[in-house]
Structure 1
Amino acid sequence: MTKFPPVRGTLTPDRPLADLTWLRVGGPADALFQPADLDDLSGFLRQLPADVAVFPMGVGSNLIVRDGGIRAVVIRMGRGFNQISIEGNRVTAGVAALDAHVARKAADAGLDLTFLRTIPGAIGGAVRMNAGCYGSYTADHFIEAQVVTRDGQIKTLTKDDMNFAYRQSDLPDGWVLTQATFHAEHGDPETLHQRMTDQLKKRDETQPTKDRTAGSTFRNPAGFSSTGQADDTHELKAWKVIDDAGMRGAMRGAAQMSPMHSNFLVNTGGATAADLEGLGEDVRKKVYDSSAITLEWEVIRVGEP
């Protein structure tokens, strides 16, 4: 039995995680820690035995926690990490600040981070996954991030440190993002808000936003140049190869590939994590058999069966 350090936040042993993920599945974590503030988080990690695994978790928007739960301390940031401040053309946001809220606050100040408006989740996940939409990615605006290392040190990471790539970044296991700073171009607030309204309308017309999903399930496949070499354009869409494989609307248990947008995995009610992940693997196999393309998961899957 692990002896946990004293905290000022909330530390809950054997905490079920299903209610903290958008797909509403998953077993318990060994413990869930919700730090009160930066010092609370730093002190906890500094004193936590080095052999205890740590898993930072945002709002659970792109996460499948397997039914057996996670053998780790899950760290979930809350109110102490959701502040947003603006200075000049720089926007600094805590990792618990919702992407949509950051986009709106920036627009109020005449700064264009509108690409964040339709991305589900919070800023920590956007940085970790280099989230993007409408041709803009987090990396395009990123200046720096504050992190707490696994041994409790507080550091600042630059864009070079993050080594951003398509839908990914480099962050050592157990390091916890706490805030990030972005640069943004100036724009007319009314125009920026109208753009976001239009983006939301388009999203709601094409994606199952009313269903229990985790956003895009698979990354768009890498493209191929005229010489046949793989490139990083990602112009081929995952939904298209899923459709071509006949998997739109496919089901396993109560898990379904959305009939509205076939790259969205849906819990139609009562699905297990095994149903959802198993259906995803069914899709990957069918797509490979159909087109020799190996789809890569965008949804993060963690824990034990």
Structure 2
Amino acid sequence: MTAPVDTAGLRGKLTADAPLAKLVWFKSGGAADWLFEPADLTDLELFLDRLDGRLPVMALGLGSNMIVRDGGVPGVVIKLGKPFAGITVEDDHVLSCGGGAHGILVASTARDAGIAGVEFMRGIPGTVGGFVRMNGGAYGREVSDVLIDCDVVHADGTLVTLPAAELHYSYRHSDLPDGAVVVRARFQGEAGDPAEIGARMDAIGEARENSQPLRTKTGGSTFKNPPGKKAWELVDAAGCRGLTIGGAQVSEKHTNFLLNVDNATSTEIEQLGEEVRRRVRDHSGVELEWEIQRVGRV
């Protein structure tokens, strides 16, 4: 397979026909046509500049809220690793976080620095890049409440800084263009007591442990909460608790989670989600919207 760009001078790893199942929480799905793991920001800019938008580009963090379809992902998947996972504490209680930084690490870094306001990230599985794109949130707060701005590399290799206002956030949505890769974000916190911050983080961790199927092959929260309603309550009322298709199952612990319990294909997982949507629509008249990102060829 001929590389999509001239690889001279690139320091990252470019892989053809790269399996993605091992990189996503559902542990299912096909391969990426190409997977690029840049060595650093300069390497990413050079790669995308050479690609110049000729192929679709998709960023991948922890793969915690994603179904990769069995037909694989066309174009190039960008996987941000350790070079993009750094977190620094700046003046005025600002956290500058790499796009590959884990939410729990952001929250714990803030705690240690006496910065309050981002404890909710303890409850979101995933990385900063995904949070920024999807306006990730939990336990009453979301990224739009704390984001100052973010550094983004567009699909043509152009690096820009976007203020939060330009992302036009709404519930689990932003206007960040397809193919744009979030490489850094700055969050505004406030002064706080580390012990009190830690206690709030512990409470979030305990609440997740008690209510969510954390040690399973899952994609996290499956459907968005409709206005004034809870998705899990609608799913439960429609009789979907424990429902299965193939190796996929609606969690019995939290009905807004789908599980890969027996080598499910991504097709089975997505079909199960659509069956849940149908049953909820028939029972309550509510049209559930997917929160999980579904990508790739069917």
Residue 86 of structure 1 pairs with residue 89 of structure 2: yes
Q: Matched residue of 1:278: which SS?
A: helix
Q: Which of 67, 78, 81 is 2:70 aligned to?
A: 67
Residue 266 of structure 1 pairs with residue 259 of structure 2: yes
CA RMSD for the aligned pairs?
A: 1.0
Match of 2:5 in 1: 4
* Whole-angstrom distance in 1 between the partners of 2:212 and 2:61: 22
Residue 55 of structure 1 pairs with residue 48 of structure 2: no
TM-score scaled by length of structure 1: 0.94
Match of 1:302 in 2: 295
Match of 1:110 in 2: 114
Note if contact 2:15-2:36 (Cα within 8 Å) is conserved in structure 1: yes
Alignment of 1:238-277 (within 5 A): 238-277=231-270
Deviations along 1:86-124, one digit per CA (max 9) or x if unpaired, are 013100100111000000000100111101001101111
Q: CA deviation at 1:191?
A: 1.0
Q: CA deviation at 1:4?
A: 2.1
* Whole-angstrom distance in 2 between the partners of 1:161 and 1:78: 26
* Whole-angstrom distance in 1 between the partners of 2:251 and 2:146: 32
* Whole-angstrom distance in 2 between the partners of 1:139 and 1:85: 20
Deviations along 1:43-75, one digit per CA (max 9) or x if unpaired, are 111111532111111110001000110111000
Query: Tell me, which stretches of 5 or more residues in structure 1 are unaligned?
Result: 223-234
* Whole-angstrom distance in 2 between the partners of 1:51 and 1:183: 36
* Whole-angstrom distance in 2 between the partners of 1:50 and 1:167: 26
Q: CA deviation at 1:268?
A: 0.6
Identity %: 46
Amino acid at match of 1:206: S
Match of 2:49 in 1: 46
* Whole-angstrom distance in 1 between the partners of 2:162 and 2:201: 30
Q: CA deviation at 1:159?
A: 1.1
* Whole-angstrom distance in 2 between the partners of 1:288 and 1:97: 37
Residue 173 of structure 1 pairs with residue 178 of structure 2: yes
Q: Matched residue of 1:117: which SS?
A: helix
Match of 1:192 in 2: 197
Query: Tell me, which stretches of 5 or more residues in structure 2 are unaligned?
Result: none
Q: Which of 12, 17, 24 is 1:14 aligned to?
A: 17
* Whole-angstrom distance in 1 between the partners of 2:289 and 2:18: 30
Q: CA deviation at 1:2?
A: 5.1
* Whole-angstrom distance in 2 between the partners of 1:123 and 1:290: 37
TM-score scaled by length of structure 2: 0.96
